[in-house]
Amino acid sequence: MNYKILLAEDEPFLGKVIKESLEKNNYEVILASNGKEAWNLFNEQEFSLCILDVMMPYKDGFTLAAQIREFSKNIPLMFLTAKSDIKDVAQGYASGGNDYLRKPFSLEELFLRVAELLKRSNSEKQETDELMIGQYIFYPKRQELINGIKKKVKLSYKEARLLELLLQNKNQVLERKPALMQLWGDDNFFTTRNMDVYITKLRKKLSEDASVEIVNVRGFGYKLIC
């Protein structure tokens, strides 16, 4: 199985060493040099694990972890940090972390912890990654919709993320600004128009079931009714 890891580390040499070492162990690693870049990458790609430095420019690791955890309850999060005070460790776990590795550390220990987190994550995964939307079966990780006659519809990464958010708020209003910040990291005019385009695409892909509807709640956001 191919695992993709998001590594957020603002110290260039250390980031390069960790990235190259993990890649030698057959992991795909995407390196971000600060918290804001890491958040944007998380919103654009699917990752199996996130390794986060704590003290980073623009967005610290604890804040980043809490944002990631708001969207994904299951993705493993590991902190790498020189902050070893018990209060910092507690804050790391409180923000959604699964493991906390203090600097300096050995690469061998890092490899063992990464392997253990991925193993635990896989054992916890259920194929009730299967969600129902009217007559459709929605597979968020596979980015697929299957309707009652087993017709498969592929979704883009952003479409799947947006549909997942709508489903989490089923029959309630998904407020526009928080959704934009979570999926695009910005709520300017262009990202707002972008979201409208994705809503239109989702409506079309869900159009074979008349009981499923995405309605525009003017001035607030969208509501998935099913």
**Token couple for 167:** 């489903």
CA distance 141 to 1: 15
- pTM of the complete model: 0.59
What pLDDT does 169 receive?
A: 87
What pLDDT does 123 receive?
A: 64
CA distance 184 to 69: 16
**Token couple for 124:** 């916890």
**Token couple for 109:** 């220990």
What pLDDT does 163 receive?
A: 93
| pLDDT tens over the chain, length 226 residues | 689 999 999 999 999 999 999 999 999 999 999 999 999 999 888 899 999 999 999 999 999 999 998 877 789 999 998 876 777 778 878 888 899 998 889 999 999 999 999 988 776 554 446 788 988 888 887 788 888 656 788 898 889 999 999 998 889 999 998 888 888 888 888 888 989 999 999 999 999 888 999 999 988 999 999 8
What pLDDT does 224 receive?
A: 94
Report in angstroms the alpha-carbon separations of 170 from 11, 23, 40, 51, 133. Answer: 42, 40, 25, 31, 9
What pLDDT does 127 receive?
A: 45
